[in-house]
């Protein structure tokens, strides 16, 4: 048995334990709800129940948990030729993370300003995109969930969904055409006499923000719509009847009632925006801004998979911490968001 085999068995054991722990916590949390339903196995019968558990468990562990664990494991290893992997030089090291922070695998003298700035900017931009999306989608979702009739709603949904038949890359290039210096938007603004010189939307990254905002709009809209549709309209009317102006009703009655949907939409948009690849590649300005192309380059330009894994994992860890912080702030649990 080689050392790397040993690692695999250890990883499998850790993964299985983690999975069980997660399931147990989830089960405990779900059991806390007031209406007591018969147990899972009682409802499905044990052959079907066992089948479902094994299938879902296998899927989760083999397709989701294990690859991620391998990537995490990889991120703590040096870059080695294939022949030396599992050999005496294949040891655990922080050098990949050190490189992200300091731009060198050994020295800690100067910061890796380019990559760190890209990481910071990516996260801040993703937050802004999320916020902008929330501001954009809330009125729309409110209209859809509380005001629109069934016919208007169907039409609106069609109009919203149909553009997403376009794929990512195509949409990114379409935005390029729309926002280019000689593009449609500039031509219109110049033609209307609102501008003297065309605006460099792409160089200013405005095109990128617009494309990302649009790309993830539905992920914000649907959780919001879902929550707003369940909101009892007479509560808003009661607040109005008690003298509240419209902004007070939204801020203190509607938003608290739908904050689960808001958190759910924000989490989705934020996570996906930080991980977006196609749009930044096509639309980012001259200076390197987005972090994902850098990660991509680690894998396919530098061919340094351990470093790429470290970069990707660092991004994931920061995002998860931020999301959990947001949920804490909103006093929501993960189960509220999934609901």
Partner 1 sequence: MAAEVGIERLSVRYGPVTAVDDVTLTIGAGEFFSFLGPSGCGKTTLLRSISGFVEPTEGRLAIGGKDMRGIGPNRRPTALIFQSLALFPLMTVAENIAYGLRVRGVAREARRRRAERLLQTVALEGYGDKPIDQLSGGQRQRVAIARALAVEPEVLLLDEPLSALDLKLRQHMRNELREIQRRVGITFIYITHDQGEALTVSDRIGVMSRGRLEQVGAGRELYDAPETAFVASFVGEANMLAGTVRERHGEEAVLDSALGPLRARNPRGLLAGSRAVLFIRPEFLLPCAEGEPANRIGVRVAGLAYEGSATHVSWVTPAGEKLLSLLGPRDAAPPAPGGAAMLGFAAQDALLLPPQELAA
C-alpha closest to that of 107 among 90, 95, 117: 95
Site string for partner 1, 253-292 (x = CB under 8 A): x--xx-----------------------------------
What is the spatial distance between Cα 107 and Cα 308, in angstroms, rounded to a whole number?
Answer: 19
The residue (of 128 and 257) whose beta carbon lies closer to partner 1 is 257
Q: Contact between 23 and partner 1 (CB under 8 A)?
A: no
Site string for partner 1, 77-116 (x = CB under 8 A): ----------------------------------------
DSSP 180: S
Structural tokens at position 126: 């993703």
The residue (of 109 and 241) whose beta carbon lies closer to partner 1 is 241
* Contact stretch for partner 1 (CB under 8 A) within 55-63, 116-124, 170-178, 237-245: 237-245
User: Could you give the 3-state DSSP secondary structure of residue 94?
Assistant: coil
Burial of 37 (0-12, 13-18, 19+ CB in 10 A): exposed
C-alpha closest to that of 257 among 142, 134, 157: 142
Q: Contact between 38 and partner 1 (CB under 8 A)?
A: no
**Whole-number minimum distance, CB 129 to partner 1, in Å?**
28
* Contact stretch for partner 1 (CB under 8 A) within 101-109, 120-128, 250-258, 301-309: 250-258
Choose, by CB under 8 A, the member of 232, 301, 303, 333 that binds partner 1. Answer: 232
Site string for partner 1, 181-220 (x = CB under 8 A): ----------------------------------------
Residues near partner 1 (CB under 8 A), total:
17
**Whole-number minimum distance, CB 326 to partner 1, in Å?**
18
String of DSSP letters for 103-160: SSSS--SS--HHHHHHHHHHHHHHHHHHHHHHHHHHHHHHIIIII--HHHHHHHHHHH
Q: Contact between 234 and partner 1 (CB under 8 A)?
A: yes
What is the spatial distance between Cα 329 and Cα 320, in angstroms, rounded to a whole number?
Answer: 14
String of DSSP letters for 3-45: HHHHHHHHHHHHHHHHHHHHHHHHHHHHHTSSS-PPPHHHHH-
Q: Contact between 239 and partner 1 (CB under 8 A)?
A: yes
**Whole-number minimum distance, CB 243 to partner 1, in Å?**
5
* Contact stretch for partner 1 (CB under 8 A) within 63-71, 154-162, 174-182, 242-250: 242-250
- For the chain, the residue count is 339
**Whole-number minimum distance, CB 244 to partner 1, in Å?**
4
Q: Contact between 241 and partner 1 (CB under 8 A)?
A: yes
Q: Contact between 27 and partner 1 (CB under 8 A)?
A: no
Q: Contact between 36 and partner 1 (CB under 8 A)?
A: no
Q: Contact between 235 and partner 1 (CB under 8 A)?
A: yes
Mark 95-123 as b/e (b = at least 16 C-beta within 10 Å): bbbbbbebbebeeeeeebeebeebbebbb
Q: Contact between 237 and partner 1 (CB under 8 A)?
A: yes
Q: Contact between 230 and partner 1 (CB under 8 A)?
A: no
C-alpha closest to that of 144 among 131, 129, 130, 159: 159
Place of tokens 């919203």: 160
User: Could you give the 3-state DSSP secondary structure of residue 167?
Assistant: coil
The residue (of 254 and 319) whose beta carbon lies closer to partner 1 is 254
* List of residues contacting partner 1 (CB under 8 A): 232, 234-235, 237-245, 248, 252-253, 256-257
């Amino acid at each position: 048995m080689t050392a790397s085999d040993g690692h695999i068995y250890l990883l499998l054991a850790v993964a299985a334990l983690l999975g069980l722990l997660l399931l147990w916590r989830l089960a405990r949390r779900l059991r806390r709800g007031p209406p007591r339903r018969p147990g899972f196995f009682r409802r499905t019968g044990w052959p079907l129940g066992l089948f479902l558990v094994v299938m879902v468990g296998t899927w989760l562990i083999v397709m989701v948990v294990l690859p991620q664990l391998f990537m995490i494991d990889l991120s703590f290893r040096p870059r080695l030729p294939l022949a030396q992997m599992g050999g005496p030089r294949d040891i655990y090291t922080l050098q990949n993370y050190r490189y992200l922070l300091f731009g060198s695998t050994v020295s800690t003298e100067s910061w890796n300003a380019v990559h760190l700035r890209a990481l910071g900017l990516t996260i801040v931009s993703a937050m802004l995109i999320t916020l902008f999306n929330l501001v954009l989608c809330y009125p729309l979702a409110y209209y859809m969930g509380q005001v629109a009739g069934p016919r208007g709603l169907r039409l609106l949904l069609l109009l919203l969904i149909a553009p997403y038949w376009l794929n990512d890359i195509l949409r990114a290039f379409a935005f390029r055409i729309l926002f280019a210096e000689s593009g449609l938007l500039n031509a219109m603004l110049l033609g209307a006499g609102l501008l003297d010189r065309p605006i460099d939307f792409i160089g200013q990254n405005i095109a990128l923000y617009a494309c990302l905002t649009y790309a993830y709009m539905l992920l914000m809209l649907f959780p919001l719509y879902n929550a707003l549709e369940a909101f009892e309209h007479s509560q808003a009317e009661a607040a109005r009847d008690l003298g509240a102006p419209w902004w007070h009703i939204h801020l203190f009655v509607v938003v608290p009632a739908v904050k689960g949907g808001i958190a759910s939409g924000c989490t989705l948009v934020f996570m996906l925006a930080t991980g977006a690849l196609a749009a930044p590649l096509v639309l980012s300005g001259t200076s390197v801004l987005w972090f994902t192309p850098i990660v991509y380059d680690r894998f396919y330009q530098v061919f340094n998979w351990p470093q790429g894994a470290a970069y990707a994992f660092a991004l994931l860890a920061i995002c998860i911490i931020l999301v959990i912080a947001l949920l804490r702030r909103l006093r929501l649990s993960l189960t509220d968001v999934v609901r």
